[in-house]
Amino acid sequence: MPKNIKSTAWWLICISSLTVSLYPLYYLVAEQPVGILMHKASELLASTQWNVAFYSHICLGGLALGIGWIQFSKSIRQEYPIVHVVIGSVYAVAVLISGLGSIYLAQLADGGIISEIGFTILGTLWLATTGASYYHITQGKVAQHQAMMTYSYALCLAAVTLRIFLPLLIILFDDFITAYRIVAWLCWIPNLGVAYLIQTRSIALKSTPVTAS
């Protein structure tokens, strides 16, 4: 990938991640239901258990989204390794709590079984890849750790892609439920595909022999 394209993609990820990571504030300061809450039944909005899961999910998910991209900075990893370790630990804890909350919320998602399955798989894979990333680094397997972290953050970025695709799908189908069923899958499957391509390219570059000029 040309350096200028790679740099542009990097900054787009950083800016979009930081922007969407602040999205929970929209819910916290609102005096009445906004966003996805506008489509929820009053009984659900009155549930303490559901509210704990919802706000834990969006707040800690926002935190993971807002700091996760820093882990891919080579200069920070090399010059400030303790910063990398601390941010990684915070990210892992945030994903654990937010991911568990997301799986609970998925069982009550708008759109029925199609949305429920899509978001449940997303939450499960997010937890699994983050857990695998943590396990590999404790075993000193840096390459595997980096690969799993790439997949983990790609799934975290579903928060960004969902907010890109959902308005477009609502316009296309003129129906929120149809759009939500589709975005429950569309928000994360392409992200995993991009992460796979990144990993495949990285492996190919590492395996290419260096020839003397």
Provide the token pair at 6.
């790679």
pLDDT at 2: 62
Q: What is the mean pLDDT of the chain?
A: 92
206: nearest Cα among 118, 135, 147, 136: 147
The per-residue pLDDT for range 52-80, each reduced to its tens digit, is 999 999 999 999 999 999 999 888 999 99
CA pair distance 124, 110, nearest whole angstrom: 18
CA pair distance 24, 61, nearest whole angstrom: 9
pLDDT at 208: 58
Scored b (16 or more CB within 10 A) or e, 34-52 reads: eebeeebeeeeeeeeebee
Q: How far is CA 208 from CA 6, 44, 92, in A?
A: 20, 55, 33
Residue 2 is which amino acid? P
Contact 147/62 with Cβ under 8 angstroms? no
pLDDT at 201: 82
pLDDT at 1: 55
What average pLDDT does this structure show over 102-115?
Answer: 96
pLDDT at 81: 93
pLDDT at 30: 87
pLDDT exceeds cutoff 60 at 213:
no
The per-residue pLDDT for range 127-178, each reduced to its tens digit, is 999 999 999 999 999 999 999 999 999 999 999 999 999 999 999 999 999 9
What average pLDDT does this structure show over 94-100?
Answer: 98
pLDDT at 117: 98
The per-residue pLDDT for range 9-51, each reduced to its tens digit, is 878 888 999 999 999 999 999 888 888 898 898 999 999 999 9
160: nearest Cα among 190, 128, 198: 190
Question: What DSSP element (H or E) covers 206?
Answer: helix 189-207
The per-residue pLDDT for range 198-208, each reduced to its tens digit, is 888 877 766 65
Indicate the DSSP class of residue 172.
Answer: H
pLDDT at 18: 92
Provide the token pair at 203.
């492996």
Q: What is the pTM of this model?
A: 0.90
